């Protein structure tokens, strides 16, 4: 009995996509990911965060078309960060690429981030995307610019755009990080805290074609304030030995 491509070859890359009520965007996004990573040993892991629409059904049906597609379903809605972590825990690749499930990240940029990560030094653990020509409302762009500026100054994480969902990083490095809700916005700071290096590359950003944003500026501000204080505390309690040598 012939094995599927996903089973026949262990993937090097796992593309993890959290989705919630993205019935309209998810199928086309999965097809774009398949096209972008064609010819590479990869899998894609969509994590449905207890969607209220037909997201889970359309993705499950798509598995017959895309053998590399895996679909995980949360039993209860738990948020974007938990969906990302669920996908990473299930991932079989050493390199993880994350994208937002709304289709605004361009999957074609994913392989470029992977190549930059692989070409870097051994301690380079993350290459994050920085959105150029953002296709968001002016209010959202202003709020994001302010939040990124405050976070970058306080955490010194060198990141101009941690809100960009498109990132490539080493799975092992992520699993060393302390987990908390909204961690996806603080991965660069936490990687640096563990002694890894991080880098960033410009990526495309697109208009949302279907569905609606799950965030509001006020809600994001409230969560970001407590998260920022928590990460500052984690940084203050970090003691990095700079590596370990076996005697």
Residue 67 lies in a domain: yes
Q: Residue 159 in 3-state DSSP? A: coil
Residue 113, pLDDT score? 98
Q: Who wins on pLDDT, 213 or 228? A: 228
- 128 to each of 151, 162, 185, 199, 247, how far by Cα in Å? 16, 8, 11, 6, 36
Residue 192 lies in a domain: yes
Range of the structural domain that residue 96 is part of:
5-236
pLDDT digits (tens, 9 = 90+) for 132-190: 877 566 666 666 676 777 888 899 888 888 889 999 999 999 999 999 999 998 999 99
Residue 2, pLDDT score? 42
Q: Which of 99, 198, 189, 107 is nearest to 148 (CA)?
A: 189
Q: What percent of the chain has pLDDT over 70?
A: 86
Residue 172 lies in a domain: yes
Residue 209 lies in a domain: yes
Q: Residue 49 in 3-state DSSP? A: coil
Sheet with 167-170, strands from edge to edge, namely 69-73, 42-48, 13-19, 95-98, 167-170, 124-131, 197-203
Residue 118 lies in a domain: yes
- 83 to each of 18, 50, 97, 128, how far by Cα in Å? 5, 10, 14, 19
Give burial (CB, 10 Å; 0-12/13-18/19+) of 132.
Answer: exposed
pLDDT digits (tens, 9 = 90+) for 52-106: 999 999 999 999 999 999 999 999 999 999 999 999 999 999 999 999 999 999 9
The CATH number given to whatever domain includes residue 43 is 3.90.550.10
Residue 87 lies in a domain: yes
Residue 124 lies in a domain: yes
Kindly state the average pLDDT of the residues 209-230: 70
- 165 to each of 15, 53, 67, 80, 247, how far by Cα in Å? 12, 22, 24, 10, 41
pTM: predicted TM-score of the whole model, two decimal places: 0.87
Residue 245 lies in a domain: no
CA distance 132 to 129: 9
Q: Who wins on pLDDT, 35 or 242? A: 35
Overall domain count for the chain: 1
């Amino acid at each position: 009995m012939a094995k599927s491509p996903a089973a026949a070859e262990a993937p090097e890359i796992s593309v993890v996509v959290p989705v919630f009520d993205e019935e309209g965007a998810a199928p086309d996004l999965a097809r774009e990911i398949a096209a972008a990573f064609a010819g590479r040993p990869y899998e894609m892991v969509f994590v449905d965060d207890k969607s209220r629409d037909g997201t889970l059904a359309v993705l499950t049906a798509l598995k017959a078309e895309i053998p590399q597609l895996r679909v995980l379903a949360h039993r209860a809605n738990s948020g974007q960060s938990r969906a990302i972590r669920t996908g990473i825990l299930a991932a079989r690749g050493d390199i993880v690429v994350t994208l937002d499930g709304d289709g605004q990240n361009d999957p074609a940029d994913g392989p470029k981030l992977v190549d930059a990560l692989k070409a870097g030094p051994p301690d380079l653990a993350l290459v994050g995307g920085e959105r150029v020509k953002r296709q968001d409302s002016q209010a959202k762009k202003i709020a994001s610019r302010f939040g990124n500026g405050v976070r970058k100054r306080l955490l010194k994480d060198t990141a101009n755009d941690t809100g960009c969902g498109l990132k490539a990083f080493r799975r092992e490095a992520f699993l060393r990080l302390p987990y908390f809700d909204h961690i996806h916005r603080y991965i660069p700071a936490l990687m640096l805290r563990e002694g890894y290096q991080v880098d960033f590359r410009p990526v495309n950003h697109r208009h949302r074609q279907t569905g609606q944003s799950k965030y509001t500026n006020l809600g994001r501000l409230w969560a970001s304030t407590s998260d920022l204080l928590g990460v500052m505390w984690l940084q203050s309690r970090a003691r990095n030995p700079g590596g370990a040598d076996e005697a």
